[in-house]
Amino acid sequence: MEGVLGFNLLPCVINSSPFDMFVFFLLLTQAVLKGVMRILMYLLICPCFRCFIYYHNHLSLLFNCSLKDDDSGDHDQDQGSPKNCEKEKNEDEDKEQNNAKKKMVVPGPGEHPLQYNYTFWYSRRTPGRPASTQSYEQNIKQIGGFASVEQFWRFYSHMIRPGDLTGHSDFHLFKEGIKPMWEDDANKMGGKWIIRLRKGLASRCWENLILAMLGEQFMVGEEICGAVVSVRFQEDIISIWNKTASDQATSGRIRDTLRRVLNLPPNTIMEYKTHTDSIKCDLDAGLGEGKVQGWAPLLQQSRVLTWRRSD
Give me the pLDDT at residue 150, please: 97
Are 225 and 127 members of one domain?
yes
Are 125 and 85 members of one domain?
no
- Strands 191-198, 235-242: pairing is antiparallel
| Amino acid at the residue 200 | G
Residues of the chain scoring pLDDT < 70 = 1-16, 42, 44-102, 127-135, 282-311
> How many distinct structural domains can be found in the chain?
2
Are 131 and 262 members of one domain?
yes
Residues in contact with 174: Cβ distance below 8 Å, sequence separation at least 6, in sequence order:
118, 119, 121, 180, 225, 226, 227, 241
Give me the pLDDT at residue 207, please: 97
Task: Provide the sign of the torsion angle of the four alpha carbons 180, 117, 257, 155, taken in this order.
Answer: negative
Give me the pLDDT at residue 205, please: 96
Q: How many angstroms from the chain centroid is the CA of residue 3?
A: 74
CA distance 134 to 291: 9
Give me the pLDDT at residue 47, please: 60
Please identify, among 50, 76, 103, the residue that sits at the C-terminal boundary of a domain: 103
Residue 117 CB neighbour total at 10 angstroms: 18
Domain containing 12 equals: 1-103
Are 166 and 205 members of one domain?
yes
| Per-residue pLDDT tens digits for 236-254 | 999 999 999 999 999 999 9
| Per-residue pLDDT tens digits for 4-52 | 444 455 555 556 677 777 877 888 888 888 888 878 776 766 565 555 5
Are 61 and 140 members of one domain?
no
Give me the pLDDT at residue 13, please: 54
Give me the pLDDT at residue 35, please: 81
Are 70 and 129 members of one domain?
no
Q: Cα(first)–Cα(last) distance of the chain, in Å?
A: 115
Give me the pLDDT at residue 104, please: 81
- Strands 168-175, 235-242: pairing is unpaired
187, part of any domain: yes
Lay out the sheet containing 113-125: strands in order across: 141-148, 113-125, 168-175, 224-231, 235-242, 191-198, 271-274
Give me the pLDDT at residue 148, please: 97
Please identify, among 85, 103, 121, the residue that sits at the C-terminal boundary of a domain: 103
Are 211 and 114 members of one domain?
yes
CB distance 230 to 299 below 8 Å: yes
